[in-house]
Each structure stands twice: as C-alpha cells, then as structure tokens.
Chain A
Amino acid sequence: MKNLLKTILLVGAVVSGFVPALTLPAHALVEINVNKGNIEPLPIAITDFLSSGGQGKEISDIVTADLKRSGLFAPIDKAAFIEKISNTDQAPRFQDWTAINAQALVVGRVSQEGDGRLRAEFRLWDTFAGQQMIGEQFFANPQNSRRIAHQIADAIYERLAGEKGYFDTRVVFVDESGSKTQRKKRLVIMDQDGANLRYLSDGRAIVLTPRFSPNRQEITYMSYESGQPQVYLLQIETGQRELVGNFPGMTFAPRFSPDGQKVIMSLLRDDGNSNIFTMDLRSRNTTRLTNESAIDTSPSYSPDGSRIVFTSDRGGQPQIYVMGADGSGQTRISFGGGSYSTPVWSPRGDLIAFTKQSGGEFQIGVMKTDGSGERILANGFQMEGPTWAPNGRVLMYFDQAAGSGGPKLKTVDLTGRNQQSIPSKNFASDPAWSPLLD
C-alpha cells in the first residue's frame, strides 16, 4: 500500500507551465465541443518524442492510441509529416503542419533525471493560431512510463475537449478461461487500454462483479471461496482479503458508497427473495433498505450519495427503480418495452446506464435519472454490465457475440458511434472502471 501511494505521488508530480516559449493566447481557436451532436474527430499531429532510446516513440504511440480510441481525435499518419522536430523548445514551422491539416500539434522529449526518474515534457500547439496551448512536464519511475503517456493524453484531452480525460485509469475485471461448463474465473487489474495486466486471484474459486473503492486501493467483489457465495473486500496492493459481514445467506452485487464508508449489496432471504442492505465498514452496522418479496439487486449510488438506483422484479420482471439513500420513496423509472437491469449511476450524476433485454437481444443504454430520454448505445446477441469512465463520457461493458463462446470487453461513447474492443488474451467480463486519482 505504501509503495503504491509513493508511486502515485511520483507519477502525479506535474509541473505546469513548463518553459513557455511564447506568450499564452487569450483563447485558443482549436476546440472540440463534446456536446455537439455530430463530432468530427480533430486532426492532430503527434510527433515521436525526442529521446536517446526508443522511449520517445513509445510514449507518443501510447498518447496517439489513447486519443484515437476516444473518437474525438484523428491522429495524422506520421508519414505525412513535413517538418522533422529536432528542438522542442523552438516554435514549429506552423505552415508545415497546417499544410497537412493538423489543427493541433504535439511535440515532446523524454530524458532520464540524475536520480533515475523519467522526465517527459510536451507542448501542445494550435497550428492555425500559431500558439502554444499547453507546456507541461511529468516525472515518474521508468517502469511507469505508460502512465506518463496516459497523463499527457489526459492533459491534451482536457485542454481540447474541455473535460477531464480518463486515460490514466485502470479497470478491474474477470478473466475467463477453460470450458464454459467449468469456467475458471480470476480477478484481473489492468490499465484502461489493456496493458499491465495483473492477476489478483488464483482461479480456484468463482469470482464475480469486482468494483473499485473511491480511493482505488480496494475492490469489493463476490466469491465462492468459502463454498457459500459472499461479498469480500480485497486490498489491491497487499492482496489482503476480508469477508464483508457475517450473513446467513448469499450476499452479492456489492458496490461502495461514494464516500467509501459503506458497501451496498443484496442479501438472499430464506424465502428465496433478495433485498438490499448496506454495511458500514467501520461500525459493521447493517441497514436494510428494501423489504419486498422480490429480487432487489444491483444497487448503485448517485455520486453525491443521496440516492440509489437498483434492479427489482417486484412488478413481475426486472426493471429499474430509484430510492433515497435511506430506502425511502422507491420509484420505478424504466418503462420501455423489455426488461432492464444492472443500472449504474454516472459519475457526473446526470445519467443512468443499464442493460436492456428486448426482442431477443441485449442492449446497453442510458437514461436520465427520472427514466426519460432513453438512448440505446450498443446492441447485440448478448451484452451486459456497463461501467462508466470517470468522466462520464464512455461506457465499458462485456459483449458475447453469437457463436463466440465467451465475452470480451468493449467500450462505447455516449454518441453510440464510437465502439472499441479492449484486447485480451482470454475471455473477459464484469469490468469496473476505476475513478480518477486527484
């Protein structure tokens, strides 16, 4: 745990305003309006960062891949570049970049500090205005070079799209191997782009539905390790595990409260129905929030902690309901044809993502928190379990195409037009996107 914190602090050491070569503009011309209906990806030139070894190219490749996958940027083929950048402290020849229609230009260099740390500097130029938009530098341990690249991509995204990026984040999910009848399931953590895979469980017990704590240090998940399926906590860095509560029946569908103090989950009743409870992780006090003779599950807090969205079949089939954090005012909000489940409140608070089953297919969609404005973003043979990128612009879910034999992770943005696959060696399911680190 101490090591992880240290690493994060080192990587997070951002020094803004790195040697401004020119005066900063009052306002930049280049920008992306993410709220516009039809977003044209912004043509951007990302040059190989200068370095003594291959590290510079590696970093610019990661930045390029991040920005491209967001769907908001169209990185230009390096073969089209006219000017070869040899000094990042000099202004580029803007006409060489406007000639290939690069509206923004990224240059940078990577070097090693005396203490062994990596130092990466970059500048973002507005080529048509001929002005610098950002100049920053980042430091990190060499093994964290990928994180530096993601932070640079985040800085560029934030400057040009006007919203926080989501590239310096991680995803915890379930790795699936072996035959479908005896599937081996293991918890895995990786970077959001699929790199730096690390297994967190050995596959002896079925593990399901991992979710991050708000501080990214812990996950809560469900495991069959004791024979009885129950909810656990796992310290990511130390591997320490802990049962959440001591309940007589199955506990499942866990999530943290936004303040990290509570786990909310379903508890099986003796009559076969399931209700929603919270457990305070300090006092160990449990509170019952629902008490219907129904399946109440998949609870998810609003980001301010005041409300909870959940699935219930109290009306006959699974639908989405909202209630106060104390269980008050339980109200159905999903009314489209079909059944709805796995609701997840957006980190921005404005939308609820869900899985919908309708007409023999599965769909991933979003609705406003009162149930209005439903939009389907992806649909197919079998897909479920959306999780939000911390900026509330992108959803990750798992998708099993007919005949594929198992699921893979995918992302889709809120326009529904930008779907991407997350590469993985094995089948993959139950993704949970980490929050941003402050």
Chain B
Amino acid sequence: MSLKGRRRFFVVVVTYLCVFSLYGMFFGYPVSPAKPTEIYDFVIEDKRYSSLPYIHETIYTNGKGFLAVATIRTISAPNSAFSAAFERLDSYAEDYIKEQYGVEVSIEEDSRDEAFRIAGHTGVKFTYSVTKQMAIGFPPFETVQDIQLAELGAVAWFCNVDFESVILIYVTPLYFDDEHALALLSDQVFSMVEEVECH
C-alpha cells in the first residue's frame, strides 16, 4: 500500500472510531425517566435495566394494578416500530404468565390506536383482554366460559426533545368492577397512564 493509501486508511479508521465512540456515549448517556405526575399510594421500584443502550425502568404497583414505565435512549423511532413490537406482545405475555405463574390464560388484542396523543406526542396504544376458561355452576349443570380477568395495555412513543423512547405496560384487573373501592384502584392505573410525562 502506498503512503497516500496508508494515510487514507488511517484517516478512515480514526474517523469511524470517533463516530462509534460518539454513538456509544450517546446510547450510554443516562435518560431522564418518564413518570406519571400523580402516583397515589403506589409502591415504586426504580432501577437501571441496562447501560447500553441506557434503559431505566420504574414499576408502580398497588397490589391490584400494575404499571411499568421503561425509558430507553434511542435515535428517532417511528410509531410503526412500536406497533410491530406490540403485535407480538400477546403471545409473549401468554408464554410469560404460563412460565412464571403456571397459569394458562388467553390474551387477545382488543384495540389499537396508532395516533394516540400522550404527553404532547403522538404514540401508539394497544389494549388486550386477558381471559381464562372457567367452569361456572355445579355439576352436572356447569358450563365452561371465557371470563375476562384483566386488561393489559401497552403505550409507546418517541420523546423527540430528549431522544428517548417511552414504553408503558399496564395491567389492571376487571373482576372487581362492581366494588367501588377496588374499581378506584383500577381508575388510578388508567389515570397514571394518561398523565405520564417524558421527564
């Protein structure tokens, strides 16, 4: 290789090393975690899930409802990418529940909104119904019915002002709809989801 060729090779290597280092620093830069404005009396578990890319995870639970907020350092992410991920969430969640708790439930997509307004941004929102087959009545008159146990929801959007993507996953049981005090806990989960801010 000629001197000119070697010099050019060196410049290219150094240039790309600089570019990759800068990308590394960008993806490793701590996020400003997204959080709901009102947290009621939910128990909070806060942790760094990963360093590269930097992912911060906060879990809010009240014994009945559950909300997980993940803030991820990303470059601009289109809503179609979030939708593609959420399209696989039902089967993933079914397998997860079966593995973790040994419970067979069926999770099916209920609705999707690919222009969901949240925190001043347009994101995507998917909702799923969590159902389980249960025997109702006593033998020999019992019947097997699909009972909806909970609503699972997934919301995601890209916070352009921080270059972060926010993903919310919530689960709120529905079987206590007729009990006001318990229904209130469920309403609190929905309220928290609607009031999550980028930082």
Task: Verify that A and B bind, or say they do not.
Answer: no
